[in-house]
Amino acid sequence: QVKKQCDQKLLIRMKTKCVPCSLNLDTQCPAGYTKITNGTGTPDCRYYLEIKAHTLSFPGCRHRCVKEFEQPECCQGHWGPDCMGK
């Protein structure tokens, strides 16, 4: 039995929205994603507050999230929707 389908595993990375670090403890990743940072997350961003005519920028935190995704792919030498072509 020759293997016709060789699915590729992809890792999709994303970061949550930048918020004040004190509010970031309870931030969840979107459905299907796994949080890979702990506590208040990573303090590597800035968030903005508009006060009257001014926009103020503050240091903030965000979480990193990952999702594993399998992309269907045919093995070398095979093609088509069912990977039967040779």
Does a structural domain hold residue 3?
A: no
Q: pLDDT digit string (tens) for 21-72?
A: 999 999 999 999 999 999 999 999 999 999 999 999 999 999 999 999 898 8
Angle at 49 between CA 45 and CA 53, to 5 degrees: 135
Question: How far is 15 from 64, CA to CA, in rounded Å?
Answer: 5
φ/ψ of residue 19, rounded to 5: -140, 170
Which residues constitute the domain of residue 31? 8-85
What domain count does the chain have? Answer: 1
Question: Is residue 2 a part of any domain in this protein?
Answer: no
CB 21 within 8 A of CB 37: no
Residue 65 inside a domain? The answer is yes
- Count the neighbouring beta carbons within 10 Å of the beta carbon of residue 63: 23
pTM passes above 0.95: no
